[in-house]
Structure 1
Amino acid sequence: MSSTYYFAIVGTNDSPLYETELGVQRDESKYLNQFIVHAALDLVDDAQFMSTACYLKTIDRYNDWNVSAYVTPSNTRLMLLHETKADDAIRLFFTDCHELYLKTLLNPFYEPNTPIQSQAFDIKVNMLAKKYLF
């Protein structure tokens, strides 16, 4: 059975900067995935002050789904909706996605806190997902 993951990068003003479904694509669950992840943002805000680490592990659960979070020093949140319990793999995925996001921020043509619409970014996120999550 292949797993489905929903990955989102949420900016400092709680707007989605990037989102994608990784694995099996299911159109009927797209909006539910968005809702679950964005509903967990308040829990991320609470959890980030209880830890000094960027990776906050699983911060919320919805039925069989877990929401894991990673908060950058600039308060950008990387969120992953998943069914698995592979904390080390998810932490490595977040760390590499954070590095990829930083490289995007360094691009002089990218306006901070605007949606990331780069096909190269999509490809690299999918490669990282295959490397760590599948």
Structure 2
Amino acid sequence: MAVCVAVIAKENYPLYIRSTPMENELKFHYMVHTSLDVVDEKISAMGKALVDQRELYLGLLYPTEDYKVYGYVTNSKVKFVMVVDSSNTALRDNEIRSMFRKLHNSYTDVMCNPFYNPGDRIQSRSLWSG
């Protein structure tokens, strides 16, 4: 499964970043921010094709020795970045797409909340209950 999930605003500042091994949190933040350059390259390479197609999934952005970084961009240019453990070889591309679709649906639910101010950090109540 994913070890880090990030939602990045159109202006490239983080709205939400959560990683599971807390001792490597800074490492995952760095990976997410460095992946934004690759996301921008892929978006500019697609150009108008991205607008014409409905394909929002960017695929594998880059692999490292221990992790694989995947990307997804919404129509409003909000970016989702997911870091997955490389040792999980059973994880297929369509499963990654499915996780991004679920994340996108959750993000849409947050944006539809009348009490959320667009641009503020996204917080999860379930993570604060502990």
TM-score normalized with structure 2 length: 0.80
| Over 3 Å off, 4+ runs | none
Correspondent of 2:118 among 109, 112, 116: 112
Partner of 1:40, secondary structure, is helix
| 1:92 and 2:92 correspond | no
How far apart, CA to CA, are the structure 2 residues paired with 1:114 and 1:26?
Answer: 23
Give the greater-gyration-radius structure (CA): 2
Aligned position for 2:80: 78
- Cα deviation digits, residues 73-130 of structure 1 (max 9, x gap): 000001001124521111001001101101110111111121011315x59xxxxxxx
Residues 109 and 26 of structure 1: CA distance in aligned 2, closer, same or farther (over 3 Å) = closer
RMSD between aligned residues: 2.0
Q: Is residue 2:46 matched to residue 1:48?
A: no
Long gaps (5+) in structure 2: none
Q: Provide the TM-score with structure 1 as the length reference.
A: 0.78
Residue 36 of structure 1 corresponds to 31
Question: How many corresponding residue pairs?
Answer: 117
Aligned to 1:36, the other structure's residue is in SS state: helix
The one-letter code matched in structure 2 to 1:73 is N
The question of whether the paired residues in 2 share the 8 Å contact of 1:36 and 1:62 is answered with: no
Q: Distance in 1 between matches of 2:119 and 2:104?
A: 15
Q: Distance in 1 between matches of 2:26 and 2:99?
A: 23
8 Å Cα contact 1:12/1:113 also seen in 2: no
